[in-house]
Homo-oligomer: A and B are copies of this chain.
């Protein structure tokens, strides 16, 4: 291994004194925030890793940030994580990722575990069946910033970054109505989570605004994704009359529905239009591409990271909680675009 970077190397590079570098790295209030950030960034660039533990011990920071998601293998979540890393890595932070497999029990354990591992912040998305607030309160009690992204809970002291799911649901449904669809089914997921509730409410609002009847039979709440999407489509296509469009709250649900519908020789989009939600990459890869609502996950991750950094700066002062809402974007593709 090469020669280790010292604070003298960093000082030379930035043309400041080694004492200032040391103070900056130790979060001394006599150094401005701008200088601190510059020093931390430069230290990271110059590979000042070796002394990071000593720094962490002195400053009481681990320079680790914990990120918790239901599943790492959803493009939506892995892209959010990439966004978080893109913002935090240049600031000297390392991101530790944990998945809950969408289970409330694991969510609790993982939060506790990350606290034990002394992370400087927790950025997370809820498990579908998440329950209680005690584990979140423990985080905040330790003065560790807690930022929810996408699936959030209203906990006093926690911040959040989400998209406007209501608008996403509304626009997807409005688009289907504009394609001439009149009997629009909706595949929901657990509506005790805000994200799925709001997509459903957006769907309802669009029906109402266009004078279309709301039909409870056309609403199916999926327990899982791909397979459940197939089964839901089977149920729906047996109705009399069957729906002429499906707005699914997830892309995997839409994919399952499409597979079933095609297997029955029913034409998409001529007989049934389909729109998904999340804009997972496979929606583009398919030979017949799938319309979907994009949730700008990269931006969501970056924004969550920036909220975390802001909260760190407020340490000691009064905490300002942020609630950021991003705008979704409907990507219209072959599965719902009729030649009209």
Contacts and interface: CB of A to CB of B under 8 A. Distances in A.
A132 B81 CA distance: 28
B98 A98 contact: no
Interface of A: 1, 47, 49-50, 52-53, 56, 62, 64, 71-73, 75, 78-79, 81, 85, 94-99, 101, 105, 108-110, 112-113, 116-117, 132, 134, 255, 282, 285-288
Contacts of A50: 112
A117 B117 contact: yes
26 contacts: A1-B132, A1-B134, A47-B105, A49-B108, A49-B109, A50-B112, A52-B112, A62-B116, A62-B117, A64-B113, A72-B72, A73-B75, A85-B99, A94-B109, A94-B110, A94-B113, A95-B98, A96-B98, A97-B97, A255-B285, A282-B282, A282-B285, A285-B285, A285-B286, A286-B286, A287-B288
Contacts of A116: 52-53, 56, 62
A49 B112 contact: yes
A96 B96 contact: yes
A335 to B, nearest CB: 13
| Most chain B CB within a 10 A radius of its CB, from A99, A132, A282 | A99
A47 B105 CA distance: 9
Contacts of A56: 116
Contacts of A62: 116-117
Contacts of A73: 72-73, 75, 78-79
A72 B64 contact: no
A251 to B, nearest CB: 11
Nearest to A113: B94
